[in-house]
Amino acid sequence: MPRSTPAIVAAETFSRAAQPVLPMGDGLVLRPWLRRDGPEVYAAFQDSAIRRWHVRSADTVEEAGEWVDSWARSWSGGTAANWAVADGRSGRLMGRASLHHIELGHGEAELAYWVVPAARGRGIAPRAVEALVGWAFEVAGFHRLELRHSVHNAQSCRVAHKSGFVLEGINRSAGLHDDGWHDMHLHARIQPAEPAYAHRIPHAETVPDAATQPVHRLRR
């Protein structure tokens, strides 16, 4: 059945244009994934925090290389947009920022990210998020971007607030992790975006009580 309104985001944004390199400042960029990134992705997924919150593990460098290939291929189909967070001079991998669950018709997508252990504590995640949000709203024309994370992931919650994503609610028992089902925070930003400072809340309030509570383990 044809839509009565045109798609919010044109498919040609992905199918007829090369994936751009997005500057983040301080010499860092969001760039397309390259096959040579496989070993660094494998190393990143040896980190327990990345494995825990992304519920994925890489058993071999070859497997990580296959992920990288799939991230690169996803662009042209408009199903996902994956960038490597990297040093623009050395090419060294710092993390990942991506849009997935893209709905071109409604102009919606979900944002995800991770940062390698050696690069943490430098504000890289919020800068990557801001660069990606800027492209999504100002260039691609998305209307709504969502960000979900476990209620126990306090660090990701801080990044969401710092990046201007409003906490809209909790999706109960919506994320299956290794230790059971987690409630998930739902944050969002919409277009036109309000200034990020309008959504910031005092530091003491940025981590909800749930982030310090034990996880309800999955009964097997």
Q: What is the pLDDT of residues 152-173, one digit of tens each?
A: 999 999 999 999 999 999 999 9
Q: How far apart are CA 211 and CA 38, in angstroms?
A: 32
Q: How far apart are CA 205 and CA 190, in angstroms?
A: 22
Euclidean distance between CA atoms 51 and 43, whole angstroms: 11
pLDDT score of 209: 52
pLDDT the model gives residue 200: 36
pTM attached to this predicted model:
0.84
CB-hemisphere CA count at 13 Å for 12? 0
DSSP, collapsed to helix, strand or coil, labels residue 152 as coil
**pLDDT number for residue 195:** 44
**Is pLDDT above 60 for 148?**
yes
What pLDDT is stored for residue 6 in this prediction? 86
**Short-list 149, 156, 150, 161, CA closest to 189:** 161
pLDDT band at 82 (very low <50, low <70, confident <90, very high): very high
41, pLDDT greater than 60: yes
pLDDT of residue 5: 74
Instruction: Check residue 152 and give left, alpha or beta (phi > 0: left; psi -120 to 50: alpha).
Output: alpha
